[in-house]
Amino acid sequence: MTLHTPKITGAEGRPVIRQLDDAAINRIAAGEVVERPASAVKELVENALDAGAARITVDIADGGKTLIRVTDDGCGMTADDLPLALSRHATSKIDGTDLLNIRSFGFRGEALPSLGAVGRLTITSRAAGNDAAQITCDAGRLAAPRPAAMTRGTVVELRDLFYATPARLKFLRSGRAEVQAVAEVIRRLAMAEPHTGFTLNEVSGGETRVLFRADPQPYAPDALARRLSGILGHDFIDNALPINAERDGLRLTGYAALPTYSRGSSAQQHVFVNGRPVLDRMLLGALRAAYFDVLSRDRHPAAVLNLIVDPARVDVNVHPAKAEVRFREPDAARSLIITGLRTALSGAGHRASTTVAAETLSAFRPEPPRTPSQPTLAAAFAFQSPAPRAPGFAETPAARIEPHTDVQTDVQTGAHGPLGAARAQLHENYIIAQTATGVVIVDQHAAHERLVYERLKAQMAASGITAQALLIPEIVDLSPTDAARLLDAAPALARLGLAVEPFGGSAVCIRETPAILGPISAEALVRDILDELADAGDSTLLQAKIDAILSRMSCHGSVRSGRQMRAEEMNALLREMEATPLSGQCNHGRPTYVELKLADIERLFGRR
């Protein structure tokens, strides 16, 4: 079906170019800046933050469709400022001389006039040393400022959003869905600004209900941790690692959760650039890449990260809603996230999340049958159990655990180690160890599988990835865009054993493939890599394939379920776990051990 648009024609029948009036311009701008009530709330709260507000209160009714009111205690505006604030491209944030040095949330000067063009907007404000004033804008019709009563700050009230453009109302979701979207905006901004207080209220039938509240945190090193604990819960902070990495003039701060605290969705992934919440595919892809060999594909890491970069090295002026950014050196930003997170995860050693113990204790208590969406710990262990060994497969040397000669494995001495001393083996699969404060239960196969996997990765990193030269190089015809994208990634692919060269036009030549992959279709591999490059801007596919093979090798080369172990072997396994990074989770991100504190065990027997 062809869409025909009406044209304004002159006497000669040709289209006539004319200037749109301000009302039409503002409504078009509103369609770009304000998609839904949550977008309006974001713009107004960011204005309050730019005004230096210490406390911000947001009141909404009907999901923001009939009322959005943002009250702040910022610097305020004078009566002369108010008409300018409702003029397009009028802003106090920048002077227009340098669009690459933006240090505020807002800078376009479009939000207020856009909101006034599609709703009923009222602004009441008072600046220090001036009288309060109020101005209204109803569907683009601006009234003169008038005196008002107010102590300090600004109140922006927007009623009947999109009443001037009724067609937009049809695209809004239910009131409950819009409330959730508004709450998510406030939560993300509250994470970015821990020293500012935020309150979100829902107004209905003359009653006010508090939906979200975050009190301002004092200026202290743990301010962000306190704020995140209140928003994401104590479990997140208890199981998160502080991130503070710096490289090439970029700095990464925040918190990243342990792999065993993984989520079923990406809802707990929050990325900021210079404190600005963004939804950037490259940054989120780097976050996934940092965890890709410690989590299964259906699990997602939890993290709150802020990338601090010189404003001249990042362009935030690429999207009307400022949700996307563009880096001058994207590889440097991606590399910092991956290396910073992997360093932190490696530094965590054998540590596993505290929620593992809580889930274990809950399994001991009678409860209604769980739904399939709540897998039990037993199901998790069953999933990570190894497949039956292929006939004739010989046990590899890695499957033998030799006691460490440089580590005391005496039972009494071992009890003071983090994972304690082995006391027993149950069902030829679970090691029971006693610690100074409780009991540790270790899945021997999952634990040793991780140890062997880390050993194999270290060996490969030391000796490099061997490339297998193809007897007949494979020529792959691509589009010019795909060929350029693949050749840009050629140096990184070469380090993984895949040699790609230009072959004239838009064709490429594959001369070598990673030997560890064996016989493969080079063309299929290249096209899969291109799909990932197009989707995420980078590809971890080849590394993932290599790591998957190492993981399978470690599975076959590790202690099998059903094997009886001697006391010295069990203690040697515990000591190696304590010394090996990431040993708290198996290759799929599930826990390798569960620690139960003595106090928790006593409560199970009603002794506390």
The whole-number pLDDT of residue 392 equals 32
484, pLDDT greater than 60: yes
Q: For 325-346, what is the mean pLDDT? A: 90
- Angstrom distance (rounded) from CA 266 to CA 29: 31
For the domain that residue 328 is a member of, what is the CATH number? 3.30.230.10
378, pLDDT greater than 60: no
In terms of domains, do 470 and 441 share one?
A: no
CB burial readout 186-205, b (16+ within 10 A) else e: bbbbbbbbbebbbbbbbeee
> What is the DSSP annotation of 324-386?
--EESSHHHHHHHHHHHHHHHHHHTTT---THHHHHHHHHHS--PPPPTTS--HHHHHHHHSP
Q: How far is CA 399 from the centre of its chain?
A: 37
DSSP state of 135: E
In terms of domains, do 505 and 578 share one?
A: no
Q: Which of 538, 565, 584 is the last residue of a domain?
A: 538
The whole-number pLDDT of residue 113 equals 83
pLDDT tens-digit series, residues 238-288:
999 999 999 989 999 999 999 888 888 889 999 999 998 988 888 998 999
Distances in Å between the Cα of 572 and the Cα atoms of 213, 352, 458, 510, 580 are 50, 19, 20, 45, 12
In terms of domains, do 439 and 573 share one?
A: yes
The whole-number pLDDT of residue 574 equals 93
In terms of domains, do 397 and 411 share one?
A: yes
DSSP state of 396: P
Q: Is residue 14 part of a domain?
A: no
In terms of domains, do 90 and 207 share one?
A: yes
The whole-number pLDDT of residue 90 equals 60
Question: Is 455:582 a contact under the CB 8 Å cutoff?
Answer: no
The whole-number pLDDT of residue 347 equals 87
| Closest to 171 in 3D by CA, of 316, 37, 274 | 37
For the domain that residue 103 is a member of, what is the CATH number? 3.30.565.10
Q: Is residue 358 part of a domain?
A: no
Q: For 526-530, what is the mean pLDDT? A: 87
In terms of domains, do 426 and 574 share one?
A: yes
In terms of domains, do 475 and 519 share one?
A: yes
Long-range contacts of 47-52 (CB under 8 A, 24+ apart): 47/105, 47/106, 47/111, 47/112, 47/156, 48/72, 48/74, 48/154, 49/105, 49/189, 49/193, 49/196, 50/74, 50/93, 50/104, 50/105, 50/106, 51/75, 51/76, 51/153, 51/154
In terms of domains, do 127 and 98 share one?
A: yes
In terms of domains, do 379 and 341 share one?
A: no
pLDDT tens-digit series, residues 495-515:
888 999 999 899 999 999 988
Considering only residues 20 and 141, tell me which one the structure prediction assigns the higher pLDDT. Answer: 141
Q: How many domains does the chain have?
A: 4
Q: Is residue 425 part of a domain?
A: yes
Long-range contacts of 406-411 (CB under 8 A, 24+ apart): 407/572, 407/575, 409/568, 409/571, 409/572, 409/575, 411/567, 411/571
Query: What is the pLDDT confidence band of residue 561, given thresholds at 50, 70 and 90?
Result: confident
- Angstrom distance (rounded) from CA 493 to CA 540: 10
361, pLDDT greater than 70: no
- Angstrom distance (rounded) from CA 37 to CA 121: 14
In terms of domains, do 92 and 193 share one?
A: yes
Q: What is the number of other CB atoms lying within 10 angstroms of the CB of residue 54?
A: 13
In terms of domains, do 286 and 240 share one?
A: yes
In terms of domains, do 330 and 386 share one?
A: no
Provide the residue type at 471 as one letter: L
For the domain that residue 412 is a member of, what is the CATH number? 3.30.1540.20
Total residues belonging to the chain: 608
What is the maximum span of the chain, computed from C-alpha positions, in angstroms? 101
Segments forming the whole domain that contains residue 526: 461-538
The whole-number pLDDT of residue 315 equals 81
Tell me what the pLDDT averaged over the chain comes to. Answer: 81
Q: Which of 159, 186, 214 is the last residue of a domain?
A: 214
